[in-house]
Every structure is written in structure tokens, then in C-alpha cells.
Amino acid sequence: MAYELYYWDGIQGRGEFVRLALEEAGVDYVDVARQSGRGMGTGAMLELMKSKSEPHIPFAPPFLRDGDLIVSHVANILFYLGPKLGLVPDNETLRYIVNGLQLTITDLVAEVHDTHHPIATSLYYEDQKDAAKARTKAFIGERIPKFLGYFEQVLQQNPGGSRYIVGDALSYVDLSLFQVIEGLRYAFPKAMKAQDGDYPGLIALHDAVAVRPKIAAYLGSKRRLAFNEDGIFRHYPELDTTP
């Protein structure tokens, strides 16, 4: 039975971190909100979230259905999928390290979102532009170096070598770091161009993931939606400054 991934149609968003893992593993999955027909589409996703019969309904997408089980939150989904897809080390201790790194990516993604919506998600970007400029200036100058510097250090200190961030084989965190670099480059091209040289290991990891056969095929397919200004990573030229 194919996995069912539930996330908003029209954007990559947080769901993309799960898609990359599913694509790399080459398993069958259905992107429910992007499909039409019975039990499909955004309406079906919203209906499941409001269900009176499901014992454990999810608060928000993304979430994954595997048979009768529904797993929510990106890091939790990947923690569940990792062993099934062969995207975590066999060592149980290292699996918790991988999960911790993914949770740190979750923190980073939340801060990315707050660059364009620093006051409230219920307001349009245009209604909080001044606050967004101040928030983004601090994010570019302080938080990008904080997060990427941390991941660079972990990568370089990996006992398994700096080709991967944990162990000696690809994990879902490597895929997620690829997406982080892709998203930051889209949202803040000037800022990232100025900082790329500070993170040689992460950039090499990004480039290696991009040419993996199944990832490269996915990136060149219609399933890989383009970044846009409805997603997490948004490009507003007035926010993109050099540190």
C-alpha cells in the first residue's frame, strides 16, 4: 500500500522535507492534496483533520498515513520513516542524533517563516513589512551563521567522515539540509552568496545530494514545484541584504 502524504497543494513548504525522503527511497506515495477524485484533494485533507471518528487527528499538515496509522510533524514523520526507507543508521543511538538534527532544522524553518510573518500568520506580509525587515536583518546577520555554522561543525566532526552529517551513509537529515540550502538561496540570494564560502562542507553536501539519481530525477520532474511566495521560503527583494 502506498504512503499517503498530506500537505497543502501549490507549495513545497514543510511537506518537501518528507517528499525528498520518499523520492530518494523510490517508494510509492500519494500526494493527497494534489490529486483529484474520491478521497483526494485539499478537501479530503481538511475533512480528515476535522474527523470525529479518527482517534488521533493531526493539528496541521504535513502528516503521513501508513495504513491505519497517522503520523504528524516533519521530524516525527521522518523518525518513523527513516528505518523503513533505509535513511538512518542501524545504530539506535545515532538515530536519536539524526532526530535531534532534524528537530534543529525544524527550529530553523520556523525562524525562516518568521522573517516574512514576524507578527501574525493572520496578517498579510504587506501589513507587517517593517517588522519583517527588522526580523530578517537579524536573521541574516545572526541566525543564518548560527544555524549553518552549527551544521557545518557537526558535519566536519562526524567520525564517519564529512561526506554525510551522521555516520557513513546518507540519512534523511542530509536530504533536509539540501532543502535548507536550496530554500535559503531562493529567499536570500545576496545574503547566501556572501556566506556560501563559510560553509564548504554543507555546500558540498548540497551539491552531492542534488546529483543523486533519484533526487535529480525528482528535481527535474513536475512533482517538484517551484519555490513561490506562498511557501516557507519566500523571496522579497527588499528583505535580501548582505550581512
* In the chain, where the domains are located: 3-85, 92-231
* Phi then psi dihedrals of residue 69, to 5 deg: -95, 135
Closest CA to 205 of 242, 169, 241, 243: 169
The most distant pair of C-alpha atoms in the chain lies apart, rounded to whole Å, by 52
d(CA 143, CA 153): 15
pLDDT of residue 102 exceeding 90, the answer is yes
d(CA 110, CA 8): 17
Q: How does residue 38 score in pLDDT terms, banded at 50, 70 and 90?
A: confident
H or E, element range at 69: strand 69-72
If DSSP codes are grouped into helix, strand and coil, which group holds residue 138?
helix
* Phi then psi dihedrals of residue 79, to 5 deg: -65, -35
Strand arrangement, sheet containing 29-31: 29-31, 3-6, 63-66, 69-72
d(CA 238, CA 130): 10
- Residue 31: strand pairing partners: 5
Q: How many CB atoms lie within 10 A of CB 161?
A: 10
> How is domain 92-231 classified at the architecture level of CATH?
Up-down Bundle (1.20)
When pLDDT is averaged across residues 35-48 and rounded to a whole number, the result is: 90
Tens digit of each residue's pLDDT (9 = 90 or more) over 187-198: 999 999 999 899
State percent of the chain over pLDDT 70. 100
Q: How does residue 214 score in pLDDT terms, banded at 50, 70 and 90?
A: very high
3-state helix, strand, coil in the chain (%, to 5): 55, 5, 35
Q: How many CB atoms lie within 10 A of CB 221?
A: 9
When pLDDT is averaged across residues 219-235 and rounded to a whole number, the result is: 97
Q: How many CB atoms lie within 10 A of CB 4?
A: 21
**Cβ-based burial of 45 (10 A; exposed 0-12, middle 13-18, buried ≥19):** buried
Domain 92-231 in the same topology as domain 3-85: no
d(CA 87, CA 98): 10
CA atoms lying within 13 Å on the CB side of residue 139: 26
When pLDDT is averaged across residues 40-59 and rounded to a whole number, the result is: 92
pLDDT of residue 1 exceeding 90, the answer is no
Closest CA to 184 of 126, 104, 115: 115
Position 243 scores a pLDDT of 84
Q: How many CB atoms lie within 10 A of CB 38?
A: 6
CATH homologous superfamily, domain 3-85: Glutaredoxin (3.40.30.10)
Position 37 scores a pLDDT of 84
Closest CA to 23 of 215, 207, 170, 221: 215
Tens digit of each residue's pLDDT (9 = 90 or more) over 106-157: 999 999 999 999 999 999 999 999 999 999 999 999 999 999 999 999 999 9
C-beta of residue 89 within 8 angstroms of C-beta of residue 165: no
